[in-house]
Chains A and B, each alone.
Chain A
Amino acid sequence: MPDSGGAVLEFRGIAKTYGERPLLAGLDLAVPAGDFLVIYGPPASGKSVLLRLLMGLETPTSGQVWLRGVDATPIAAAERNIGYVPQSFALYPHLSVRDNIAYPLQLAGTPKADREAIVRRAATMLKIGELLGKRPDQLSGGQKQRVAIARGIAKETEIFVLDDPLAGLDFKLREQLVDDLKVLQEETRATFVYTTSDPIEALTLADNLAVLVDGRIVEAGEPERLYRSPAHLRTMELVGFPRTNFVPGTLRGADGALRCETPLFVAAMRPESDARQEPGEWSVSVGMRPEDVVLVEERTRSSLAAEWLPFSATVTLREDLGGEEIVYLDAGGTPLTTVIRHHAGQANPDLGQRVDLAVRVSDLLVFDAGSGRRIARGIETSNG
């Protein structure tokens, strides 16, 4: 068994099956103390189950959960001492906000005076100080969520688990809560484990990000590294907003050179490892981030440098986010998106218009269509 190496909690070879259905398959993950770990994945990828295993609400089919340096797998949920914010608010409707927040403390037998102080502190941090006397059914959705979070953190412990706490909340509420949560974690320096299926939320909150797809962690690490250099197709697809564009293609290796052919362009590639030096042919997915696909004015098209790959597409929808706009395109059957920023004075195409686009070769990442692993990337030209 590997040493836990300062990790405050750790999953070792965790697998979980319900009947015949595998939900989690052999999953390893270590979380250092004081980390804000975001487990990020599409809905139904196994995020909640993973947290429930950590909480002790489910037993793994195989593998162990280590907590604070001991094997906690046989330890009951009640003894694990983790603060918990469940997915739906699960506020006790018969208790006041104050009693809801104090609930974990009351169960733990914290003296009444201390309880009140902790409740006050938690309520102040989450800006719900004036709601303490109310009942949950008198609160708005955002307020309920704040109370649920306050209850989760008002516990004498240093590990907190939040199961997609902002799901279903209004956009504006999320914006505020994300910020408050980040500040909260930095102030308390506790270890947070947080799940979400929202890419921006994940990128904003995470010190470390674990991308969970179909019960497996496809990649984990600092969000910026995952964003810039994803080793797996799913990482590139999921980490970032709008979603990455993928174009199917074929990668051909001959005479020591690699070429990738797609319906949109043909480009020279360099392999990620020596393994792909030998001649061969692989079916691949070429990933290009929306912001790397740029709109080109007709007149500048001819003057594009060799490092740019030109192609064209039709605008199908423009979604205005305010600060920026997502342009949905159709490039001969391949759906694409790009992002334009208004204040940057970029092109302003009309709906249904045919536009010229270009992508820089060095921004392309090539993934094996079968395994999803990254096998090549566009060659950087020296003058780029």
Chain B
Amino acid sequence: MAQVGTRRLEGVGGIAGARSRPRGRPFRKLDDSRFFPLVLLLPILIFFLIWNVVPLLWLVGLSFYRYDLTSPEPARWLGLDNFTAIYNDAQVWGALGRTLSFMFFSVGLQTVLGVVLGLLFWGSSRMPGRRLALTLLFAPMLLPPIAIGSYWRLIYDPIFGVLNYYAREIFGQRYDFLGSKDYAFPAAVAVDVWMWTPFMILMTLAALASVPKAELEAAEVDRLPWLKRLWYVVLPHGKFILMLGILLRTIDAFKTTDMIFVMTKGGPGVKTELIGLTVWRRGFASFSMGAASALAVIALLIAIAFTSIYLYVLNYRETRGQFR
């Protein structure tokens, strides 16, 4: 036993005077108990149970049934029939393929444009009215998608649309952007690009802000050329946030429904019908809930896969401690 030397003083107290016995507490409080963490979690668990688990089970269950709201007959067990039907459904495959190319083009364009414009905005911190300019810039992504869809219907309108007028001024020709087979899809992509490029600008600015100031200063003192600075200084720090941005956009592009719904309803034909719209249509246009659920289950799985990738990237960075 390491009894350290005996000491001459009797301890008499601290600055406030000693009161050596703590005041006893008559009863053990709830928050000392080991159930306290559970109490904190209870509300979220209830929400999770009622609004996530129940619908999820419902959804998965329903996907094995034939269940039409319009028909009087009760739900009928189908097994995997709904899924095989989807597998054989060219329309679904078409919508999936269209969604993929929508994601590819719109996210790709947003990224390129966003990075370029973001770099342009780098160093604008002392711009007069910067806050207002950024508000205008970021406005598209924060307005109701429903409203956005309707604006663009107005702008794209073949007769009085402002875009058509200028198209004719320049190309001498009118375009029915949303009504024509050739232009509807690019027109939808264009709206998405307009709406979400500001997001990629935001992410690029965040990525640039994550580059330590000293490293930029060192590159300046070391006289590195512009491109080398981007490559050796900016990219190693910024790529992570940029990656998160791209992933978030990909997940979000997969979900696009409202805006298309208002703008084209998937038309002309199925030219702009994305998977979200297909699910919606199956459920609430033809009221075949079973088939819609099966499709929803598939969409769900794809979304979970995307989210996993996102979180994996996020976690990878945290565990590898790449902050320094």
Q: Chain A interface (Cβ within 8 Å of chain B)?
A: 2, 5-8, 28-35, 37, 68, 76, 78-81, 83, 105, 108, 110, 118, 121-122, 125, 153-160, 184, 188-191, 207-210, 217, 219-222
Contacts and interface: CB of A to CB of B under 8 A. Distances in A.
A221 B18 CA distance: 26
Given A32-B6, A80-B22, A156-B19, A189 B12 contact: yes
A209 B3 CA distance: 11
B2 A157 contact: no
Contact of A5 (B3, B5, B10): B3
Contact of A157 (B3, B6, B18): B18
B18 A158 contact: yes
A190 B11 contact: yes
B14 interface: yes
B2 A158 contact: no
A125 B23 CA distance: 27
Given A157-B20, A189-B9, A28 B2 contact: yes
Interface string B147-176: 000000000000000000000000000000
Given A34-B12, A158-B12, A190 B18 contact: yes
Contacts of A28: 1-2
Given A28-B1, A79-B25, A210-B4, A34 B9 contact: yes
Contacts of B22: 78-81
Nearest to B12: A189
Contacts, number: 116
A80 B13 CA distance: 15
B11 A221 contact: no
Interface string B1-43: 1111111111111111111111111000000100000000000
Contact of B13 (A31, A108, A158): A158
28 contacts: A2-B1, A7-B3, A32-B5, A33-B7, A34-B11, A35-B11, A37-B4, A68-B21, A78-B22, A81-B22, A108-B23, A118-B15, A122-B15, A156-B14, A156-B16, A157-B14, A157-B18, A158-B14, A158-B20, A188-B12, A189-B10, A189-B13, A190-B12, A190-B15, A208-B4, A217-B2, A219-B2, A220-B2
Nearest to A29: B2
Nearest to B24: A79
A30 B2 CA distance: 7
B5 A221 contact: yes
B14 A190 contact: yes
Given A76-B32, A81-B22, A157-B20, A6 B6 contact: yes
Interface range, B side: 20 to 34
Nearest to B9: A34
Contacts of B13: 157-158, 188-190
B3 A158 contact: no
Which of B6, B15, B19, B21 counts the most A-chain CB atoms under 10 A from its CB?
B15
Interface in B241-258: none
A155 to B, nearest CB: 6
Nearest to A27: B2
Contacts of B12: 34, 158, 188-190
Nearest to A158: B18
Interface in B198-245: none
B19 to A, nearest CB: 4
Contact of B19 (A5, A157, A217): A157
A209 B2 CA distance: 11
Nearest to B10: A33
Nearest to A8: B11
A219 B5 CA distance: 12
Contacts of A158: 11-14, 18, 20
Contacts of B16: 105, 110, 118, 121-122, 153-157
Contacts of A155: 14, 16
Contact of B17 (A7, A80, A156, A210): A156
A78 B1 CA distance: 28
Contacts of B5: 32, 207-208, 221-222
Contacts of B23: 108
A365 B40 CA distance: 59
Contacts of A79: 22, 24-25
A60 B14 CA distance: 27
A282 B6 CA distance: 36
Contacts of A29: 2, 4
Contacts of A191: 11
B15 A154 contact: yes
A34 B2 contact: no
Contact of A160 (B1, B14, B19): B14
A4 B244 CA distance: 59
A217 B3 CA distance: 11
A54 to B, nearest CB: 14
Nearest to B17: A156
Contacts of A118: 15-16
Contacts of B18: 156-158, 190
A210 B2 contact: yes
A37 B3 CA distance: 12
A160 B16 CA distance: 12
B105 to A, nearest CB: 47
A362 B65 CA distance: 94
A188 B25 CA distance: 28
A15 to B, nearest CB: 15
B2 to A, nearest CB: 4
A83 B15 CA distance: 11
